[in-house]
Amino acid sequence: MSKPFLVHRRVRFGDCDPGGVIYTPRLSYFVVEAILDFVSHRLGGPAEKRLMDLGIFPPARSFTLEFLSPLEWDAEIEMQVRVAEMRTHAIKFVVDGYLESGEKTFAAELTQVCVDVDDRKPVPIPNILRAALSES
């Protein structure tokens, strides 16, 4: 649906287990932060504030992560973020991670639902957000 947005990140010592390989839950933070960077870029400011200004926040409905090769301490990765699908209330993001060598190291999908900040019930994706995320 959209062309990839690139986020660069280095795997830090604190992201790793004692063996020097990324601790699995840390990668979920990388994915969420990359998506927030993408949404911030598209909305022209901090995603969290912009979404709250629209009267919504986007809890996760589903998250999948497939490891394809190890990520070790001090590795530089490039994450490619894109919107795979937008429905009435939900947005599916895809984040693919690559090492400097070009080797794909992980593939993730995160589906978020737009809910009203007050009553926590699903609401349609605001037109402003839909238009911003549909840009190519």
Q: Give 5-134's CATH code, choosing from 3.20.20.80, 3.30.420.40, 3.40.50.10140, 3.10.129.10.
A: 3.10.129.10
Dihedrals phi, psi of 58, to nearest 5 degrees: -115, 80
Structure confidence at residue 49 (pLDDT): 96
pTM of the full structure: 0.94
Structure confidence at residue 2 (pLDDT): 57
What confidence tens digit (pLDDT) does each residue in 64-76 have? 999 999 999 999 9
Mean pLDDT within 52-60: 95
What confidence tens digit (pLDDT) does each residue in 88-136 have? 999 999 999 999 999 999 999 999 999 999 999 999 999 999 999 997 6
